[in-house]
Structure 1
């Protein structure tokens, strides 16, 4: 009976490493040179909600406000095509909502003001700092969990893969200059969870292969582990991507950035769970001895009570 086919994933590990390094360099340069295009959640500004009786044209609303001199105007549907959310970089002005309403009423008279809010820059800065701290804490807890659950080398590989995914997603937003708001931050935290789940499944299979298969070849053992989890990884990733694509197309402006960030994260997370984490394990010289459970110590004869071994103490 022929052995099941084993895909040689690790035969391309050097090419995968070069690809990952290239993506990371591009991402870091983009973050350093261009930075993230922070949305009003982080920079502060005005949020105005208006409602129409008939479906609104967000492009027309954006054009009217931009022509009027307002800065960084973002217009999107809010729930349905008759509710419109307007965000702009403006100072705190209680009359701003009425000013916007007057401009829009000149185009159409079926519009009403529903909300006029202002997000201060201090609040935005606090959100940015706490969001960054949240990601760092999440990565630290992941490293501790995997070190306890598996082995320290697995923890390094998993956290390196997660950092790899986060930096590349951030780099994507730096390159494209898509708005980076709280929904994108939530998507990045979701990417950490998704990628971690995939990495743990692969790590568990690698550990079992090292313990149960007699062949002492780390590359073969990693390859057979990745082959055994491949169908599960592909099915999970494809079904997730189908949902995210549907959200990006039909979910409206409010959820589009979330869907974009998660789509990039799922693709990169699937790749990193196969090539980044496993590649690091091989680079750190993972062996069977690292994963073998500790043998129970045999009791020494000196520790055995003398009355069990000394015939003179036996009772007649």
Structure 2
């Protein structure tokens, strides 16, 4: 017997409450923009500037103990990760510690570095600093610009792809869905003040790819059904297509979420922000592919060529024209 989370045949009217779902999304997007301007983002060291310290010790790295030892120093945003490498010796335990710039300074002062070393040596007496590197405000600003260009470039490339593959109405629906997903994710990070660093940019790019993949699957089925049902109203074609792909959508999202929830629970603090962003992105991406992208296509309208003698028989979708 096959496991069926969703029946093979469903007849859900996704447009029954279209005004409510679409209106709620518009309100949520406006609130996300307002949260961004009101609270800003809690930028991590990548965007704020700071110092990265590479430590080596004979004792095994205890990230929790390292973090607790640095709490009394009140250094602000501190990121600690253990570094693994097959080339390390058995007694070579390496960690990377990133400390945000203090009081607008370009890097952490030498006195602060000495205090960090002393605090960590209380946990691991053999600990030494193998390297100390600083990221200044200029580099941080360049990283912010590069991150923005990366996200916008990815969205632009996807829009061009959809525009070439489908009609322009589908491209508009896809771009609105992407803006919705990215906007709500940034708004949530702004509202909750979760650390926003380069890992989150990678998560945003992953969300963009996942969301558009789900949307393209639905659009493909819409295109097939537009060829198959020449006289069926557009709203019914969109509903039929969403129902036919619903099982695939839920299985894909569900299995992905299982892995992400495991990482959220067991992955630790280092990747929690990244995993949280992707988890949220999959939820809103699945929602937008059903309730946002198709709503835009329905609003813009797709008019089929009625000049054929028997419109109930097959035809080419290339004959579809915009209203």
TM-score range, shorter chain: 0.7 to 0.9
Matching residue of 2:131: 115
Query: What are the within-5 Å matches in structure 2 for residues 191-202 of structure 1?
Result: 191-202=207-218
Q: Which residue of 97, 106, 117 maps to 1:86?
A: 97
Bigger mean CA deviation after superposition, 285-294 or 221-230: 285-294
1:71 matches 2:75: yes
Give me the CA root mean square deviation.
2.4
Matching residue of 2:31: 26
Classify 1:266/1:4 alpha carbon distance in 2 versus 1 (closer, same or farther; 3 Å): closer
Shift of 1:110: 4.3
Larger Rg: 1
Shift of 1:64: 3.8
State whether residues 45 and 77 of structure 2, in contact with CA within 8 Å, keep that contact through their aligned partners in structure 1. Answer: no
Matching residue of 2:88: none
Shift of 1:202: 0.5
How many pairs were matched up? 291
State whether residues 101 and 113 of structure 1, in contact with CA within 8 Å, keep that contact through their aligned partners in structure 2. Answer: yes
Bigger mean CA deviation after superposition, 108-117 or 189-198: 108-117
Q: Distance in 2 between matches of 1:107 and 1:146?
A: 55
Q: Which residue of 138, 159, 166 maps to 2:154?
A: 138
Q: Secondary structure of the residue that 1:113 maps to in structure 2?
A: strand
Q: Distance in 1 between matches of 2:304 and 2:261?
A: 42
Query: What are the within-5 Å matches in structure 2 for residues 182-197 of structure 1?
Result: 182-197=198-213
TM-score calculated relative to the size of structure 2? 0.82
Q: Which residue of 263, 271, 274 maps to 1:258?
A: 274
Larger helix share, 1 or 2 = 1
Q: Which residue of 44, 47, 57 maps to 1:42?
A: 47
Q: Secondary structure of the residue that 2:318 maps to in structure 1?
A: coil
Shift of 1:84: 4.2
Matching residue of 2:251: 235
Shift of 1:89: 2.4
Q: Distance in 2 between matches of 1:37 and 1:110?
A: 34
Q: Distance in 2 between matches of 1:111 and 1:242?
A: 38
Matching residue of 1:300: none
Q: Secondary structure of the residue that 1:201 maps to in structure 2?
A: helix
Q: Secondary structure of the residue that 2:207 maps to in structure 1?
A: helix
Q: Distance in 2 between matches of 1:140 and 1:21?
A: 22
State whether residues 79 and 270 of structure 2, in contact with CA within 8 Å, keep that contact through their aligned partners in structure 1. Answer: no
Classify 1:134/1:218 alpha carbon distance in 2 versus 1 (closer, same or farther; 3 Å): same
Shift of 1:201: 0.6
Q: Distance in 2 between matches of 1:93 and 1:31?
A: 28
Q: Distance in 2 between matches of 1:289 and 1:273?
A: 27
Q: Secondary structure of the residue that 1:131 maps to in structure 2?
A: helix
Q: Distance in 2 between matches of 1:160 and 1:100?
A: 47
Query: What are the within-5 Å matches in structure 2 for residues 1-316 of structure 1?
Result: 4-54=9-59, 58-68=63-73, 70-79=74-83, 83-90=94-101, 91-92=106-107, 95=110, 97-289=113-305, 292-294=317-319
Shift of 1:56: 5.2
Classify 1:278/1:247 alpha carbon distance in 2 versus 1 (closer, same or farther; 3 Å): same
Q: Secondary structure of the residue that 1:72 maps to in structure 2?
A: coil
Matching residue of 1:302: none
Tell me the alpha carbon deviations over residues 199-232 of structure 1, each in whole angstroms, 9 at most, x when there is no partner: 1111111111112114421111111100110111
TM-score calculated relative to the size of structure 1? 0.84
